[in-house]
Amino acid sequence: MPGIPVIAIDGPSGSGKGVVAERVAKALGFHLLDSGALYRVLGLAAHLKNLNLEQDQALAELARTLDIGFGENGPDSVSLDGRDVSLDIRSALGSDMASRVGAIPAAREALFERQLLFRQAPGLVADGRDMGTFVFPDAVVKIFLTASVEERAKRRYKQLIAKGIDAILPALLRDLKERDARDSERAVSPLQPAPDATILDTTEMSEETVVARVLELVKAGLPNL
Ligand code: C5P
């Protein structure tokens, strides 16, 4: 499906890329890939099945056959085997399991194929860690959103509380630092900006400003849109 434009939005947890990607996709009428949700559902499924993460072939098989649904139980909902897991995948356990399975090459390879299927006309906004570097290296626009770890922890805290999920700020900060380290230091697809990505530090930027800036970059990359 090359030829169908992809906007890659990468960055660490809490950088705001999820919300920004969603708003940009809506503004452009493009499809949306929340690749983190795939890792989260895989992590949750592995946990529910009590899978030993060292059995990487079993994990890859699980990744290939997972029954994941997006939007089946309302907008933004995510389901596993038809059950709504939108809240479970955002829990501390869901986040931790996602970054554990994300460090396993066989799991990444299995999810790679599934991610490519999201590239459909008229275009795709893909949000994750390695969208611009690995999954869609030919993305027409690549953006790397970042923010200080303290600011990201605060944002995640507000998001969770708004969803009715209990959260403790210092624990979130510690978890984010741990996940940042694991995501950046892993051997496969470590979290890093593509050489041709535009880096936006959003620590001092409002969501509104970030979305407007991303849409400007899209316009520059896709003048005929
Ligand atoms: O983006 P989100 O915070 O939902 O991602 C959860 C975890 O999934 C990340 O901490 C990371 O370990 C993993 N992930 C990944 N590659 C992606 C998206 C997410 O490794 N493209």
Domain presence at residue 159 = yes
Domain presence at residue 122 = yes
Q: Give pLDDT tens digits for 121-138.
A: 999 999 999 999 999 999
Domain presence at residue 41 = yes
Q: Give pLDDT tens digits for 46-57.
A: 999 999 999 999
pTM listed for this prediction: 0.93
Ligand 1 pocket (Cβ < 6 Å) reads 13, 35-36, 39-40, 95, 98-99, 102, 128-130, 179, 183
d(CA 141, CA 8): 6
Q: How far is the CA of 128 from the centre of ligand 1 (A)?
A: 6
Q: How far is the CA of 118 from the centre of ligand 1 (A)?
A: 17
The CA distances from residue 129 to 48, 82, 102, 123, 186, in Å, are 25, 27, 10, 19, 12
Give me the pLDDT at residue 72, please. 87
Give me the pLDDT at residue 2, please. 67
Range of the domain at 204: 6-219
What is the tally of structural domains in the chain? 1
Give me the pLDDT at residue 65, please. 95
Domain presence at residue 79 = yes
**pLDDT: which is higher, 188 or 143:** 143
User: Is the Cβ–Cβ distance between 6 and 140 less than 8 Å?
Assistant: yes
Q: How confident is the model at residue 13 (pLDDT cuts 50, 70, 90)?
A: confident
Residue 10 belongs to domain with CATH number: 3.40.50.300
Mean pLDDT, range 198-203, rounded to an integer? 96
Looking at the chain, the whole-number percentage of residues with pLDDT higher than 70 is: 99
What is the best residue among 129, 142, 144 to mutate for testing ligand 1's pocket, by most ligand atoms within 8 Å of CB? 129
Domain presence at residue 224 = no
